[in-house]
Amino acid sequence: MKDADENSTVAARITEAIAERIIAGTLKPDAPLRQDHVAREFASSHVPVREAFRQLEAQHLVVALPRRGVRVAPLDATAIREISEMRAALEVVALRHAAPKLTQAHLAKIELALIEGDNAETLQEFEAANRAFHQALVAPCGMPRLLASLDGLQRANSRAVFAMARSAGWRPRSNQDHRLILGALRARDIEQASGLLARHIQTIERLSVPAA
C-alpha cells in the first residue's frame, strides 16, 4: 500500500509538471515523451511515469500512437473545436447542477477568482485565475466524474488560450463575460447563467482556432 501511495504521489507530480510545460508551449505539438527520459528526470521508476502518461492522455494533452509512442497532442482547429464543444456541453450540465447549491461563500470564491483575473499582470496569472473561476462555478455540482472530465478539458482549453495569446499578444483586461455570469448567478437566473457560459466558451473557441 505504501508503494502504491508513493507511486500515486510521484505520478501526480510528473503529471502536473508535464501538463504545465504543454500548456505553456514549452513542449510543442507532436513532441515525443520518452518514458525512460521522464523517469530519469524525476528520479522515479517507470510505473508512475506510465500512470502520469495515462492522466495526461485523459486531459487531452498527450496521445499514445501505435509505433510512435506517447507524444504531445496536436493543437489544430479540429482539436480545439472538439475540446471546446465538449467543454461547453459538460460545463453547462455541471453549472445547472451546481447553481441551486451555490452559497454566499461559493459566490464570494467565484468573485475572488474574477478579481484575480482582472488584476492579473501576466498571462500565467490570468490563466490560473481563469481556471479557478470556472472550477468555482461548478464545484458544488456533486458529480466527481464530471468534474474530473472538466478539469482535463479546461487544461486543454488553457493550452489553446496560451497559444492564441502568444501569437496575438496578451494584455491585462477585465473579463466582462465572467462578470455577467456571476451577476446571473447572484440573481439566481440559472438559464441566463447557463446561456452566458455556453456563449463564453464558444467565443474562446472561435478566438483560439488558428486562422486558415
Q: Decide: pTM greater than 0.75.
A: yes
Confidence of residue 206 (pLDDT cuts 50, 70, 90): low
Residues linked to residue 64 through DSSP beta bridges, in sequence order: 70
pLDDT at residue 115 greater than cutoff 70: yes
> What does residue 65 show for φ and ψ, rounded to 5 degrees?
-115, 135
**CB within 8 Å of 62: residues ≥ 6 apart:** 18, 22, 33, 53, 56, 70, 71, 72, 73
The stretches of 42-189 forming alpha helices (DSSP H) are 46-58, 77-98, 104-118, 123-138, 144-168, 176-186
Which residue type sits at 157? N
Taking the C-alpha atoms of residue 121 and residue 100, their distance in angstroms, rounded to an integer, is 34
Q: Tell me: the pLDDT tens digits for 3-49?
A: 666 778 899 999 999 999 998 889 999 999 999 999 999 999 999 99
Confidence of residue 164 (pLDDT cuts 50, 70, 90): confident
Looking at residue 87, what is its pLDDT?
Answer: 92
Evaluate the CA torsion angle 83, 88, 89, 92 in order and state its sign: positive
Architecture per CATH, 2-72? Orthogonal Bundle (1.10)
Q: Domain 77-208 adopts which CATH fold?
A: Four Helix Bundle (Hemerythrin (Met), subunit A) (1.20.120)
Structural domain spans, the chain:
2-72, 77-208
Looking at residue 159, what is its pLDDT?
Answer: 86
Quote the Cα angle for 62-68-69, to 5°. 50
Looking at residue 51, what is its pLDDT?
Answer: 95
Helix (H) or strand (E) holding 36: helix 35-41
Looking at residue 212, what is its pLDDT?
Answer: 42
Instruction: Tell me which residue has cell 515525443.
Output: 32
Mean pLDDT for the chain overall: 88
pLDDT at residue 166 greater than cutoff 80: no
